A and B are shown apart, each in its own frame.
Chain A
Amino acid sequence: MGPTETGSGSSAVAELAEASRSGDRRATARLLSLVERGGPQADEVASATHFHVGGAHVVGVTGAPGSGKSTITNSLTTLLAEAGRRPAVLAVDPSSPLTGGAILGDRVRMNGAAEAGVFIRSMATRGHAGGLALAVPGAVRVLDAAGFDPVIIETVGVGQVEVDVTDAADTTVVVVAPGWGDAVQANKAGLLEVADLFVVNKADRPGADDARRDLDLMLDLSTITGRVGGERPSVTMTTATEGDGIAELAEAVVGHLGRLSDGEELAQRRERRRLAEVRAHLGHLLEGAGEEVLATEASKATNPAESPMMVARRLAAGLLG
Chain B
Amino acid sequence: MDGSRSTLSGIPLEPVYGEGPFPGEYPYTRGVHADMYRSRLWTMRMFAGFGTATDTNGRFRELLRSGSTGLSTAFDMPTLMGRDSDHPWSLGEVGRAGVAVDSVEDMADLFAEIDLGGVSTSMTINGPAAILLAMYVVVAEQGGVERGRLAGTLQNDILKEYQAQKEYIFPPRPSVRLVTDVIRFTATEMPRWNPVSVSGYHIREAGSTAVQELAFTLANGFAYVEAAVAAGLPVDIFAPRLSFFFNSHVDFFEEIGKFRAARRIWARWLRDRYGATDERSLKLRFHTQTAGVSLTAQQPETNIARVALQALAGVLGGTQSLHTDSHDEALALPSEAAARTALRTQQVIAHETGVTGVADPLGGSAYVEWMTDEVERRAEEVFAHLDEIGGGSILEGVYEGIQSGWFMGEIAESAYRFEREVNAGDRIVVGVNAFTEGNGSTGTDLLRVGQETEDDQLARLTAVRAGRDSDAVATALGRVAAEAADPDLNLMPSLIEAVEARATVGEIVEVLEGVFGTYVETAVV
Contacts and interface: CB of A to CB of B under 8 A. Distances in A.
Please tell me whether chains A and B touch each other in their complex, using a CB distance cut-off of 8 A: yes
Interface of A: 66, 71, 103, 105, 108-109, 111, 241-242
B523 A108 contact: yes
A241 B520 contact: yes
Contact of A66 (B171, B405, B521): B405
B522 A66 contact: yes
A4 B366 CA distance: 63
A103 B522 contact: no
8 contacts: A66-B404, A66-B522, A105-B523, A105-B525, A108-B521, A109-B523, A241-B520, A242-B517
Contacts of A105: 523, 525
Contacts of B520: 71, 109, 111, 241
Contacts of B517: 241-242
A66 B523 CA distance: 10
Contacts, number: 17
For the complex of A and B, 10 pairs with smallest distance between CB atoms: A108-B523, A103-B525, A105-B525, A66-B404, A105-B523, A241-B520, A109-B520, A242-B517, A66-B405, A109-B523
Given A103-B525, A108-B523, 7 more contacts: A105-B523, A108-B521, A109-B520, A109-B523, A111-B520, A241-B517, A242-B517
Nearest to B406: A66
Contacts of A103: 525
A242 B517 CA distance: 8
A105 B404 CA distance: 15
* B-side interface size class: under 10
A105 to B, nearest CB: 5
A241 B517 CA distance: 9
A39 B274 CA distance: 65
B188 to A, nearest CB: 32
Interface in B121-180: 171
Contacts of B404: 66
Interface string B512-525: 00000100111101
Contacts of B521: 108
Contacts of B525: 103, 105
A242 B513 CA distance: 12
A105 B408 CA distance: 14
Interface of B: 171, 404-405, 517, 520-523, 525
A109 B521 CA distance: 8
Contacts of A242: 517
Nearest to B523: A108
Contacts of A109: 520, 522-523
A66 B400 CA distance: 11
Nearest to B389: A179
Contacts of A71: 520
A66 B405 CA distance: 8
A205 B386 CA distance: 17
Contacts of B171: 241
Contacts of A108: 521, 523
A71 B171 CA distance: 15
Nearest to A112: B520
B136 to A, nearest CB: 33
Contacts of A111: 520
A108 B524 CA distance: 10
A103 B404 CA distance: 18
Nearest to B396: A206
Listed residue (B171, B404, B522, B525) with the most chain A CB atoms within 10 angstroms of its CB: B522
A83 B171 CA distance: 27
A241 B522 CA distance: 10
A196 B91 CA distance: 47
Contacts of A241: 171, 517, 520
A111 to B, nearest CB: 8
A241 B518 CA distance: 9
A105 B409 CA distance: 13
Contacts of A66: 404-405, 522
A247 B517 CA distance: 19
A148 to B, nearest CB: 24
B88 to A, nearest CB: 13
Listed residue (A71, A109, A111, A241) with the most chain B CB atoms within 10 angstroms of its CB: A241
A241 B521 CA distance: 10
Nearest to A206: B391
A109 B522 CA distance: 7
A105 B521 CA distance: 12
A103 B412 CA distance: 13
Contacts of B405: 66
Nearest to A106: B523
A112 B525 CA distance: 20
Nearest to A103: B525
Nearest to B405: A66
A105 B523 CA distance: 7
A103 B521 CA distance: 17
Nearest to B404: A66
A111 B519 CA distance: 13
Nearest to B171: A241
B385 to A, nearest CB: 14
A68 B343 CA distance: 48
A291 B522 CA distance: 44
A319 to B, nearest CB: 44
A144 B112 CA distance: 64
A312 to B, nearest CB: 44
A109 B404 CA distance: 14
A182 B496 CA distance: 46
A57 B522 CA distance: 28
A66 B406 CA distance: 10
A241 B520 CA distance: 8
A111 B518 CA distance: 13
A66 B517 CA distance: 21
A71 B519 CA distance: 12
A103 B405 CA distance: 16
A108 B171 CA distance: 17
A111 B523 CA distance: 12
Listed residue (A66, A71, A103, A111) with the most chain B CB atoms within 10 angstroms of its CB: A66
Nearest to A74: B520
Nearest to A243: B517
B396 to A, nearest CB: 9
A291 B517 CA distance: 57
A135 to B, nearest CB: 23
Nearest to B400: A179
A103 B171 CA distance: 26
A207 to B, nearest CB: 10
A146 B31 CA distance: 69
B406 to A, nearest CB: 10
A66 B522 CA distance: 8
A207 B525 CA distance: 27
Nearest to B524: A105
B198 to A, nearest CB: 25
